A and B are shown apart, each in its own frame.
Chain A
Amino acid sequence: MSNLLLLIVILINFFTLGSARLVACIRAVAFQGALLALLPLAAHGLSGHALLLGAGALAFKGIFIPWLLLRAIREVRIRREVEPFIGFVPTLVIGALVTAGAFIFSGFLPLAPEHQDGLFVPTALATMASGFLLLITRRKAITQVLGYLMLENGIFVFAVLLSTAIPLMVEAGILLDLLVGVFVMGIVLNQISREFSTLNTERLTALKE
């Protein structure tokens, strides 16, 4: 069950890297968050801790943050296309290489025996790397937020692996961090679009007094 979930998570990584439509990207990442909410239950069975973790992930990553992002798109009226620095096919290829690398690399890690063969560690690494890739290869500020979100999804997969050891407080802290990040990004987005009438972050590299 959890293997299937993790597989779908990896497929969503690929989809997000290859998709040209911003709204589709946001929906995909939201779906990924919602799937991850099922993961603690699938991995550790029904317990209060897992339930809380899942509910928190669903509320924030599956519903609230995507809603904020979709609202931000509507408000600043950006064009719907994702504009990549490098093309979709090269991004996809790099994403695949990174995923394969994550699988190979996780084989070398000194993991606990019960985590050795599962998909958890490779998926977490692959998702984090894909999020990072999204962060650095896209021009629009909002896709960079998406990359950030995906990065967090990868961390969440890791956290589920250790969720019996990690206190809920840590995960709550990460979620809060993310939420604040997205809020700040929303405000910044508004500012950027007011100043430059575009959300292209390339312009931000040339600073003026």
Chain B
Amino acid sequence: MIGRILLQLAILLLFAPLLLGVITKTKALFAGRVGPPLLQPYFDLFRLWRKGFVISRTTTWVFLAGPVVGLVVPLLAAMLIPFGGLGAPISFSGDLILFVYLFGLARFFTAAAALDTGSSFEGMGAAREVTFACLAEPTVLFALLVLARGAGSLALGDLLGPQLAAQWHGNGGASLGLILVCLFVVLLVENSRIPFDDPNTHLELTMIHEVMVLDHSGPAFGMILYGAAMKLLVLGALLVRVALPVQTGSLLLDLLVFLAGLLGLAVLIGVVESTMARLKLPRVPQVLVGTTLLSIFALVLVLR
């Protein structure tokens, strides 16, 4: 039990920034550049960690609570979700609600920290982020309901259990495919990736998440980056498990399949980011409503 928690934490902590590196590298290759080294996110985090804080005098403790909660929440959420075929370290009935709302908590604190600076610019980013998030939430819940219907349980550990493979071959294959698409879109929204948000620019018109963390510096910014990377890994774990429900029984092999799946996902995100333009802001809610409808439709298919 303890060993499993430690293993899961070790994967999460060590592997998460690599995904960002893979995404950046893929984008660089698409653009015909060499790009920064794969380990650049680790260097960035290390560099930020050694710097000092610069904190505005108008802010309160909330400003620092944002990064801290943003760092802790993915660690907690990772405990609820099985990494590949490993099985979730902590699992109880109804933990899927906790999983979804842990990220809600992180978002609340990030938005509160952004509002705490008193800058209208960051308030705008917070408003956009919260709008998109509350549109993405129903999609996740309906997708999880589809899985719950297949597993006959409300615990994430069971939802992503070994019955997934049988479900792919049986009647539920179509709806699993649908929710896979939906979850991928949600992953892009939640991690502020390109069709919905641009993680690289600091322009007023294009940025949503980035504008919220503009005032954070040094270790606090490092925590935000690290938290974001781990969030990508945790949400990606959900997706990879649904897409690759292989369970060989051997710990090492399961883990390798899982990590390979995550790397593949990172490459896929990189490809999407290099081939798509950012969506117009009014189009984003339309896409999110569309994915919600798709996941509802997937639920209708499995309920029939």
Contacts and interface: CB of A to CB of B under 8 A. Distances in A.
Interface residues of B, number: 13
Contact of A100 (B289, B294, B296): B296
Contact of B293 (A4, A14, A103, A107): A14
Interface stretch (A36-44, A88-96, A156-164): A88-96
Interface string A1-29: 00110010011001000101000000000
A4 B300 contact: no
B293 A93 contact: yes
A193 B297 CA distance: 39
B286 A96 contact: no
A144 interface: no
B296 A18 contact: no
A5 to B, nearest CB: 11
A41 B304 CA distance: 26
Contacts, number: 35
B290 A103 contact: no
A32 interface: no
Interface in B260-300: 283, 285-286, 289-290, 293-294, 296-297, 300
Interface in A81-118: 88-89, 92-93, 95-96, 99-100, 103, 107
A92 B296 contact: no
Given A3-B174, A4-B174, A100 B286 contact: no
Contacts of A100: 296-297, 300
A10 B297 contact: yes
B89 to A, nearest CB: 36
A92 B293 CA distance: 8
B295 to A, nearest CB: 10
A103 B289 contact: no
B174 A96 contact: no
Given A7-B174, A14-B294, A14-B297, 11 more contacts: A3-B174, A10-B297, A14-B293, A89-B285, A89-B289, A93-B293, A96-B296, A96-B297, A99-B297, A100-B296, A100-B297
The 9 closest A-B pairs by CB, nearest first: A96-B293, A89-B289, A7-B174, A18-B290, A100-B300, A88-B286, A103-B300, A89-B286, A92-B293
5 contacts: A14-B297, A95-B293, A99-B300, A100-B296, A107-B304
